[in-house]
């Protein structure tokens, strides 16, 4: 069976069947409902826009070229732009018409030169960071790329005045809403692997750094800001360095699941970026954290999406073909921790549906928070064959209950983005880009963050099918 034949069997996979096509700036038409008058600002979402080139397909969903959708909402109207990030490697492959770089899960053409002497492609596809004068397209294996906030023109690679060439800047920075300081990290592999931690001022300029030596060569995708602490959970996945250096298999294929190592917990003081404590607990894997806070008794409480093992990586590898068969279930977990010892005080599952991409009100990051929003696998979906996003959930910490909204049969949404209303600060909206495979159309949807029962508040048509995105952000008008 050819890849295209496989793709045509699936509903969600039609969204990744062909590379996304750039458009705009262009006015967008409203299909139903109205844009709330207090929803004013710009939505940005990054994702793998192009998963093939020259009849060769990438080997992992993480390896598509980054492409960013911007939707400008102003005075109850919408305008859209969709642009690829012009990384150096993207431009070279545009010229050659071939996939010629290593990726996270992709081997280049058989050329020895490509395999050993070219860098891993910076796909700039994972998330965005909003700064006052630029938008950063983030990818955890390298430096960010800066883009023009208005027209998404690529400005160029950006070292934030502090990244040396070997340092990486991960895709899940956390901004403290009070101090406006931005915290992030990056791994550097070598004889020893280091967790490099960064603190930036509100402009993005790195003002403080530290480096913590890790055992082996793990992968780390996200962390959580909880009061005065930065907390890392390092799952027992380790890079098999020698085969990776020999370039016989991709980086992803050299990642080994080693449950006997357990999950390492690292607690960092966010003021001086020094390690406070480190311990080990039972094994699991997680990509994403929700949020965290420092409780009155000195313990820290935070959420994350827990997988029982690393099979989710195989699932995402298969997803690039549009044909998956490996089940991978993430569930929302809550942990209470002693930050002075990294000892787990309590851990339990909050929400046992298959879910991921937790997001919260950005004004509550690092503090006690009210709700977590999640992408959820549809209750009707086969976990082996479908992707999450058929439903959205809102978990309420006051009542320990959740509410759900189904986006509809064969409709798939990108991870929810929270947008506060400018007119009424108690109102907020959930923004998502959906792919309706019934009519093969992408749309931008607005939901009421406080009332999923209200259904979809507004549907806005997009002029092209957009490949399913990863992470985004909302930039409110000031
Ligand atoms: Fe992520």
Measured in angstroms, how far is the CA atom of residue 415 from the centroid of ligand 1? 10
Q: What whole-number distance in Å separates Cα of residue 400 and Cα of residue 391? A: 19
The pLDDT value given to residue 10: 55
Domains of the chain are: 3-476 (2.140.10)
Q: What is the pLDDT of residue 118?
A: 78
User: At which residue do the structure tokens 């929302």 appear?
Assistant: 332
Q: What is the pLDDT at residue 1?
A: 38
| 472 CA from centroid of ligand 1 (Å) | 10
Ligand 1 mean position to 238 CA, how many Å? 19
For the stretch 404-408, contacts whose Cβ atoms lie closer than 8 Å and that sit 24 or more positions apart, written own/partner, are 404/376, 404/452, 405/447, 405/452, 405/455, 406/378, 406/379, 407/432, 407/434, 407/445, 408/436, 408/438
Kindly give, in sequence order, each residue whose CB lies less than 8 Å from that of residue 476, ignoring residues fewer than 6 positions away: 40, 41, 419, 420, 422
Q: Ligand 1: distance of its center to the CA of 44 in Å? A: 15
Alpha carbons 33 and 447: distance in angstroms, whole number: 11
Calculate how far, in angstroms, residue 336's C-alpha sits from the geometric centre of ligand 1. 23
Q: Can you say whether the dihedral through the CA atoms of 177, 182, 183, 187 is positive or negative?
A: positive
From the CA of 318, how far away is ligand 1's center (Å)? 18
- Please tell me the distance between residue 128's alpha carbon and the centre of ligand 1 in angstroms: 11
Rounded-to-integer distance, Cα 416 and Cα 373, Å: 7
C-alpha of residue 1 to centroid of ligand 1, in Å: 32
428: CA distance to ligand 1 center in Å?
23
Query: Residue 283 pairs with which residues in a beta bridge?
Result: none
pLDDT score of 110: 61
For residue 130, the CA-to-ligand 1 centroid distance in Å is 16
By the 8 A CB rule, do 335 and 317 touch?
no
Q: How many angstroms separate the alpha carbon of residue 37 from the centre of ligand 1?
A: 31
Q: Which residues pair with 406 in a beta bridge?
A: 391
113 alpha carbon – ligand 1 mean position (Å): 31
Q: What is the pLDDT of residue 170?
A: 98
Alpha carbon distance 391, 381 (integer Å): 10
Q: What is the model's pTM?
A: 0.96
CA of 288 to the centre of ligand 1 (A): 6
Cα separation, 285 vs 314, whole angstroms: 13
Measure 33 CA to ligand 1 centroid, in angstroms: 31
Closest CA to 429 of 368, 379, 476, 366: 476
The Cα 260–Cα 215 span in angstroms is 14
Output the CA 178–ligand 1 centroid distance in Å: 24
Dist. CA 29 → ligand 1 center (Å): 30
Residue (of 405, 327, 401) closest to 370 by Cα position? 401
- Ligand 1 mean position to 306 CA, how many Å? 13
Tokens for 284, please give them: 């699991």
Distance 75 CA to ligand 1 centre (A): 32
Rounded-to-integer distance, Cα 274 and Cα 266, Å: 10
Residues in the chain predicted with pLDDT less than 70, given as ranges, are 1-10, 110-114
- How far is the centre of ligand 1, averaged over its atoms, from the C-alpha of 139 (Å)? 9
The number of beta carbons lying within 10 Å of the beta carbon of residue 343 is 13
Give 182 Cα–ligand 1 centroid separation in angstroms: 17
Helix (H), strand (E), coil (C) string for the chain: CCHHHHHHHCCHHHHHCCCCCCEEEEEECEEEECCCCCCCEEEEEEEEEECEECCEECCCHHHCEEEEEEEEEECCEEEEEEEECCCHHHHHHHHHCCCCCECCCCCCCCCHHHHHHCCECCCCCCEEEEECCEEEEECCCCCCEEECCCCCCEEEECCCCCCCCCCCCCCCCEECCCCCCEEEEEEECCCCEEEEEEEECCCCCEEEEEEEEECCCCCCCCCEEECCEEEEEECCEEECHHHHHHCCCCCHHHEEECHHHCEEEEEEECCCCCEEEEEEECCCECCCEEEEEECCCCCEEEEEEEECCCHHHHHHHHHCCCCCCCCCCCEEEEEEEECCCCEEEEEEEEECCCEEEEECCHHHCCCCCCEEEEEECCCCCCCCCCCCCCEEEEEECCCCEEEEEECCCCEEECCCEEEECCCCCCCEEEEEEEEECCCCEEEEEEEECCCHHHCEEEEEECCCCCCCEEEEEEEECC
The whole-angstrom separation of Cα 322 and Cα 253 is: 19
Question: What integer pLDDT is reported at residue 11 of this predicted model?
Answer: 81
Q: Give the β-pairing of 441-448 and 401-406.
A: unpaired
Q: How far is the CA of 473 from the centre of ligand 1 (A)?
A: 13
Distance between Cα 31 and ligand 1 center (Å): 30
Question: How far, in Å, is the centroid of ligand 1 from the Cα of 62?
Answer: 10
Residue 172 CA to ligand 1 centre (angstroms): 7
Retrieve residue 89's tokens. Answer: 């490697």
CA–CA separation, 267 vs 274, rounded Å? 9
How many Å lie between the centroid of ligand 1 and the Cα of residue 140?
9
């Amino acid at each position: 069976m050819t890849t295209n034949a496989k793709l045509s069997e699936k509903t969600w996979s039609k969204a990744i069947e062909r590379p996304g096509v750039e458009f705009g700036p262009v006015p967008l038409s409203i299909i139903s409902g109205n844009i709330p008058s207090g929803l004013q600002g710009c939505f940005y979402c990054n994702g793998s826009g192009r998963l093939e080139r020259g009849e060769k397909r990438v080997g992992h969903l993480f390896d598509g070229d980054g492409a960013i959708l911007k939707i400008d909402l102003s005075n109850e109207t919408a305008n859209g732009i969709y642009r690829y990030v012009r990384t150096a490697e993207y431009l070279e492959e545009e010229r050659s018409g071939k996939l010629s770089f290593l990726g996270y899960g992709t081997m280049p053409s058989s050329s020895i030169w490509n395999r050993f002497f070219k860098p891993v492609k910076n796909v700039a596809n994972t998330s965005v960071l909003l700064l006052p004068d630029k938008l950063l397209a983030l990818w955890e294996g390298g430096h960010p790329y800066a883009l023009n906030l208005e027209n998404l023109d690529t400005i160029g690679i950006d070292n934030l005045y502090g990244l040396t060439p070997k340092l990486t800047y991960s895709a899940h920075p956390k901004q403290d809403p009070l101090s406006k300081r931005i915290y992030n990290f990056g791994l550097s592999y070598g004889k020893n692997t280091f967790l490099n931690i960064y603190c930036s001022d509100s402009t993005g300029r790195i003002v403080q750094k530290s480096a913590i030596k890790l055992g082996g060569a793990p992968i780390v995708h996200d962390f959580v800001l909880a009061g005065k602490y930065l907390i890392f959970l390092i799952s027992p996945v380790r890079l098999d360095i020698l085969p990776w250096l020999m370039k016989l298999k991709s980086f992803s294929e050299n990642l080994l699941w080693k449950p006997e190592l357990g999950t390492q917990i690292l607690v960092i003081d966010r003021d001086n970026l020094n390690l406070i404590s480190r311990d080990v607990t039972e094994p699991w894997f997680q990509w994403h954290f929700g949020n965290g806070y420092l409780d009155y008794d000195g313990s820290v409480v935070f959420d994350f999406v827990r997988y029982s093992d690393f099979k989710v990586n195989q699932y995402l590898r298969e997803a690039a073909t549009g044909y998956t068969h490996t089940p991978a279930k993430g569930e929302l977990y809550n942990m209470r921790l002693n930050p002075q010892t990294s000892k787990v005080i309590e851990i339990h599952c909050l929400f046992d549906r298959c879910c991921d991409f937790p997001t919260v009100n950005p004004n509550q990051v690092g503090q006690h928070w009210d709700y977590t929003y999640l992408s959820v696998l549809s209750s009707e979906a086969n976990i082996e064959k479908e992707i999450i996003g058929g439903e959205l959930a809102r978990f309420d910490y006051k009542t320990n209950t959740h509410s759900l909204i189904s986006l509809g049969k064969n409709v798939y949404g990108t991870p929810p983005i929270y947008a506060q209303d400018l007119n009424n600060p108690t109102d907020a909206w959930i923004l998502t880009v959906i792919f309706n495979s019934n009519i093969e159309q992408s749309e931008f949807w607005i939901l009421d963050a406080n009332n999923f029962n209200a259904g979809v508040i507004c549907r806005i048509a997009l002029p092209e099918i957009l490949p399913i995105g990863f992470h985004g952000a909302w930039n409110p008008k000031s």
